[in-house]
Amino acid sequence: MSKETMKLVANNKKAYHDYFIEEKYEAGLVLHGTEVKSLRMGKCSIKEAFVRIENGEVWIYGMHISPYEKGNLFNRDPLRPKKLLMHKEEIRKLVGKISEKGFTIAPLQVYFKEGRAKIEIGLARGKKLYDKRADIAKKDQRREAEKDFKIKLSH
């Protein structure tokens, strides 16, 4: 079996800033031809996207796939809701978790895995403002420590 090939298309760093990611799931994306071509060219944004479960189906809203330049009449609405493919058991588990207070589903990254478009979604719990401040402070401390370390190495 060959090593899994993965080509990252879009990443959602904002999700890690705004939420604590409890669990991650992989889901397939239901796309149309020209959307796949646009995705292969890396023309995708999930910064404003969110995931909902409706009637036992998982949908992503606000995921922007730019229209394919050579697609003309076959192009679809860049912001149309897209269906995600997941196992029923996983969906049931997510529904149970979301019903708890403070949980939501956030899209984390879009990628191609063995030629198929996939999206990684995370079961997320919202961060409070003080959590975000603590994260920023940690990041600043790490940056300062790295800077000091570089200065010591150069002398």
39 located within any domain: yes
Q: How far apart are the C-alpha atoms of 117 and 128, rounded to whole Å?
A: 33
Q: What is the total count of domains within the chain?
A: 1
* Mean pLDDT by groups of 10 residues along the chain of 155 residues: 64 78 84 78 80 83 77 66 84 80 81 84 76 78 77 65
Q: How far apart are the C-alpha atoms of 125 and 104, rounded to whole Å?
A: 6
Distant-in-sequence, close-in-space partners of 119: CB < 8 Å, separation ≥ 6: 26, 27, 28, 29, 46, 60, 84, 107, 108, 109, 110, 111
90 located within any domain: yes
136 located within any domain: no
Helices (H), 9-83: 13-18, 33-40
pLDDT on residue 2: 43
The answer to whether 63 and 83 are in contact (CB under 8 A) is no
63 located within any domain: yes
Q: For residue 110, is it left (φ>0), alpha (ψ between -120 and 50) or beta? A: beta
In which domain, by residue range, is 75 found?
A: 6-128
89 located within any domain: yes
155 located within any domain: no
53 located within any domain: yes
User: Residue 39 is part of a domain; what is its CATH number?
Assistant: 2.40.280.10
Q: What is the pTM of this model?
A: 0.67
58 located within any domain: yes
